[in-house]
Amino acid sequence: MTELRTRRPRRRVDGVLLLDKAVGRSSNAVLQHAKWLYAAEKAGHTGTLDPLASGLLPLCFGEATKFAQSLLDARKAYVATVRFGIATATGDAEGEVIAEKPVDFSRADLERVLPQFVGSIAQVPPLHSALKFQGRNYYEYARAGIAIPRAARQVEIDAIAIVDWAPPFATLHVACGKGTYIRVLAEDIGAALGSCAHLVALRRTATGPFAVDAAVTLDALEAIDAGSRDALLLPAHAPLADLRRLDVDAATARALREGRIAAAPAGATGRYRCFDGGGFVGVVEADDDGIRAVRLVRTDPLPGA
């Protein structure tokens, strides 16, 4: 893939792109490349994948960035390849080998220990990560050889299943909540088996309601014209698929945009994706007092609309 250096005019782009990130580039690098291809004013990704990982990386453009947190918080699914018997400094294939142990357990042994990692579990985040301690990233301390305290955090693992077992390798399907480090999970499973382990490959297959089967690669995105790229964008409210839909009239939408509380339809309570005849209004909250805006989108039309 060629380096992109040409400056081009930015334009307003609103929507969500389901990108299938390839191995070898950072999440920010592919985000910036896609942002350049769309000539977008504003863009952000919804959950970092390490350079060695591939798979689904939803990108939010324009007004969709207001709702990116929904995808950052969403459940995710991965296919992970674990190499047992070798531990590395980083917990993945990039790190130097720091320990070796026998792999003298069976698939049945692996199946036996996996349930202890399902549910709410405590996980110590890796030193080689972007978490912060006293204003600096963990990995900065790791590179400097400085030890820092790392408190265990509760993470949610919904399910772990063995996809393939070819000792010393296992391929696992993992469904989990936000903040889960799959490389730490691999290390902990290795320790539970009396061995050690590290992650050699990772592919994200789902984020919230979205699956990698519906995603496009950066190479494919680069090969099509601007109109075809725009056609791939999901609407700005796509990250909010878990919220119920609420349709309101024009007067109610106007009141919301003006910061006023509007009368709520009978029985409406909680948060909604709100629409009027002109399209998506934003996220609103309804209770006995009425409807109020939580986060609204711009109402001015896109250029050329």
* Residues carrying an active site annotation: 50
Q: Which of 94, 80, 58, 74 is nearest to 182 (CA)?
A: 80
Listed in sequence order, the residues at least 6 apart from 139 whose beta carbon sits closer than 8 Å to its beta carbon are 127, 128, 129, 130
Kindly report whether the peptide bond that precedes residue 126 is cis, defined as omega within 30 degrees of 0.
Answer: no
**How many CA atoms does the CB half-sphere of 99 hold within 13 Å?**
17
Distances (CA, A) of 288 to 98, 243, 281, 285: 60, 19, 21, 10
DSSP 23: T
**Distance, C-alpha 99 to centroid of its chain:** 31
The whole-angstrom separation of Cα 87 and Cα 21 is 26
Neighbours of 7 (CB within 10 A): 6
Helix (H), strand (E) at residue 72: helix 68-72
Which amino acid, one-letter code, is at 93?
A
Distance CA 153, CA 151 (A): 6
In angstroms, how far is the first alpha carbon of the chain from the final one?
33
For residues 19 and 173, give the distance between their C-alpha atoms in angstroms, rounded to a whole number.
Answer: 20
Q: Are strands 76-84 and 279-287 parallel, antiparallel or unpaired?
A: unpaired
